[in-house]
Amino acid sequence: MGDSTGHKHKHLELTLAAVSELSSSSSVSSSSSTPVIARFSADDGVAALRFHQGSEFIDGLNVDLGTSQLFKLGPLQSLCVSESADTNRE
């Protein structure tokens, strides 16, 4: 895959133990037979973290890294803090 400047887009994949969304009761665990994969990508100039299980995209778990914070908790653990795009504001 390339762009008009000839650069190739690289995707980094990480296998996850669990993904939780704090604003709801939804949680995805890789304890099932198909692991959850997080893919870092930069499509159309937007850096994002997308979650997949097998070949299926997990709807609602797409993180814009431009508006998020990533924290390294240890050699195998990280925390991503992101505000939901559908958050109601007054």
Q: Where are the domains of the chain?
A: 12-82
66 three-class SS: helix
Q: Indicate if the pLDDT at residue 60 is higher than 60.
A: yes
Q: Indicate if the pLDDT at residue 89 is higher than 50.
A: no
pLDDT for the residue numbered 90: 44
64 three-class SS: strand
pLDDT for the residue numbered 53: 80
22 three-class SS: coil
The contacts of residue 37 (CB under 8 Å, 6+ apart) are 13, 14, 15, 16, 51, 52, 53
